[in-house]
Amino acid sequence: MLDIILIQHVVSGLNLIEYHQDHTKFNVEHSAIFSGFLNAIQSIMSKELDIGTVILISTKGKKGHNCIIVSRDPISVVILCDQEDPIELWREFGEEVVERFLEMFGKDFNQHQLNQFIKFEEVIKEMCMDNKYCE
């Protein structure tokens, strides 16, 4: 089941959108910490170590989750879902989110005007209606 979708600006790591499910156990107050962690990991892997881009982080156990990352300049879509959910389904979902976001806002948007992105939450909500793992 989906917990959260973050859309981040790749360069700044700024959260443009945070889409949460009603049942989300993820503490939304910690999303800035989570976002910073992901930005740091991606930077270390791709720039410092030069071993590629992070596309998946997984945890296991009773509260296990998959963190699926779909990046396309200038954004990254981060999907946090249950460990039992099909990773490929969520990766495809993330690709579609990227496509729709870039269709709506283009690549040359002002990442500091966060109010412009609020209307995209409705797009994500509509996409979730067709996904049995979403809601």
- CATH, residue 117: 3.30.450.60
Other CB atoms within 10 A of residue 66 CB: 20
Task: Note whether residue 53 is domain-resident.
Answer: yes
Residue 44, CA distances (Å) to 7, 38, 59, 74 in order: 20, 10, 20, 18
The model's pLDDT over 9-66, given as tens digits with 9 standing for 90+, comes to 988 888 999 998 766 665 656 666 777 777 777 777 767 777 777 778 888 888 888 9
Q: Which of 109, 63, 105, 112 is nearest to 84 (CA)?
A: 63
Task: Note whether residue 22 is domain-resident.
Answer: yes
Task: Note whether residue 135 is domain-resident.
Answer: no
Which range of residues forms the domain containing residue 108? 2-129
Task: Note whether residue 134 is domain-resident.
Answer: no
Q: What SS3 class is residue 131?
A: coil
Note whether 69 and 38 are within 8 A (CB). Answer: yes
Count of domains observed in the chain: 1
The whole-model pTM stands at 0.88
- Does residue 101 register a pLDDT over 70? yes
Task: Note whether residue 35 is domain-resident.
Answer: yes
